[in-house]
Amino acid sequence: MKILVPVKRVIDYNVKPRVKADGSGVDLANVKMSMNPFDEIAVEEAIRIKEAGKAEEVIAVSIGPAKAQETLRTALAMGADRAILVETDDEVEPLGVAKILKAIAEEEEPGLVILGKQAIDDDSNQTGQMLAALMNRPQGTFANTVEIEGDSVTVKREIDGGLETVKLTMPAIVTTDLRLNEPRYASLPNIMKAKKKPLDTKNPADFGVDIAPRLKTTNVSEPPVRQAGEKVEDVDALVAKLKALGVA
């Protein structure tokens, strides 16, 4: 079985993002970029499944600028076998990504597509669901545990009330939640080996799908700065304040 793992190059989670002065987006000039943390969890899960002898090949794929190669190299260093870069400098929305992934999946025929539940830059949380719908395959989103038995995969999903267990017939789509696993740190020998692993570069045009954006960003602004609190003398003063603020 093959596992396809889409990974996205995003602003590093340790970086405090700054909005461009003209409000057109987040300033990415000279900002550290890394693999989306949820995608790292997806790569780790795929490698673990392979290490357990339940998959033969892990293919990482990224859609983005030439620099997304670095993100793919990270996936290869962690243990993916080969990588595909679909190179574009344009913004590709979740629907466009899902369409490209569908085309790749039809070519590669993976038993599982494991992807992050969302990317930390736009927090869309749509790609996995859209891919499942386009391919008409079962989906297990927000995975907390993933277990493979024969031709089915059991996914425990993190939902508001707790955990929900679903059993999917493969091929299937799984999206990862934060607690699924703790991704490994790539070792130096594996980083060295990753350089020699194959990395194919393609263009969106190769897949003949329409990835034109459906949405227009009109304005991006910083979140409001949190106001300092106020100390009150006693309960009466507190109640008076709350009433004055109209919250009680």
Partner 1 sequence: MAASNPGMDEDVFAQFLDQLDRYVRERLLPAEPDVIANDKVPDDILEEMKEMGLFGLTVPEEHGGAGLNTSQYAQVVYTMAYAAPAFRSIFSINVGMFNSALKNGGTPEQQAEWWPRIAGGEIACFGLTEPGSGSDSAAMQTTAKPDPDGNGWTLNGTKRYITNAPHADVALIMARTEKEALPKNAHVSAFLVPMDTPGVSTGSPDKKMGQAGAHIADVMLDDVHVPGDALLGGETGKGFRFAMMSLDNGRISVGAASAGYARRALDSALKYATERKAFGEPIANFQLIQQMLAESETEIYAAECMMRDVTARVDRGENTIRQAAAFKVFASEMCGRVMDRVVQIYGGAGYLAEYDAERFFRDARIYRIYEGTTQILQLQIAKHMLRDFQANV
Structure tokens at 232: 């009150």
127/26 Cα distance (integer angstroms):
21
- 30 vs 136, beta carbon nearer partner 1: 30
Q: Does 9 bind partner 1 (CB under 8 A)?
A: no
Q: Does 239 bind partner 1 (CB under 8 A)?
A: no
> Strands 2-6, 112-116: parallel, antiparallel or unpaired by DSSP?
parallel
* Stretch of residues binding partner 1 (CB under 8 A), selected from 121-129, 168-176, 182-190, 235-243: 182-190
Q: Does 224 bind partner 1 (CB under 8 A)?
A: no
- 187 vs 201, beta carbon nearer partner 1: 187
Beta strands in the chain (DSSP E): 2-6, 9-11, 33-35, 57-64, 82-87, 112-116, 139-149, 152-159, 162-169, 172-176, 199-202
Nearest distance, CB of residue 16 and partner 1, angstroms: 15
Binding residues for partner 1 restricted to 85-144, rule: CB under 8 A: none
Nearest distance, CB of residue 214 and partner 1, angstroms: 35
Cα angle 161-167-169, degrees, rounded to a multiple of 5 = 145
Structure tokens at 240: 């008076």
Q: What's 158's DSSP letter?
A: E
Q: Does 70 bind partner 1 (CB under 8 A)?
A: yes
- 50 vs 99, beta carbon nearer partner 1: 50
Nearest distance, CB of residue 195 and partner 1, angstroms: 6
Task: Using alpha carbons, select from 199, 207, 201, 85 the residue that is nearest to residue 134.
Answer: 207
Q: Does 31 bind partner 1 (CB under 8 A)?
A: no
Q: Does 29 bind partner 1 (CB under 8 A)?
A: no
What is the b/e burial string over 147-165, where b = at least 16 CB atoms within 10 angstroms of the residue's CB?
Answer: ebeeeebebbbbeeeeeee
Among 189, 223, 224, 246, binds partner 1 (CB under 8 A): 189
Query: Which residues lie near partner 1 (CB under 8 A)?
Result: 70, 73-74, 77, 185-189, 191-192, 195
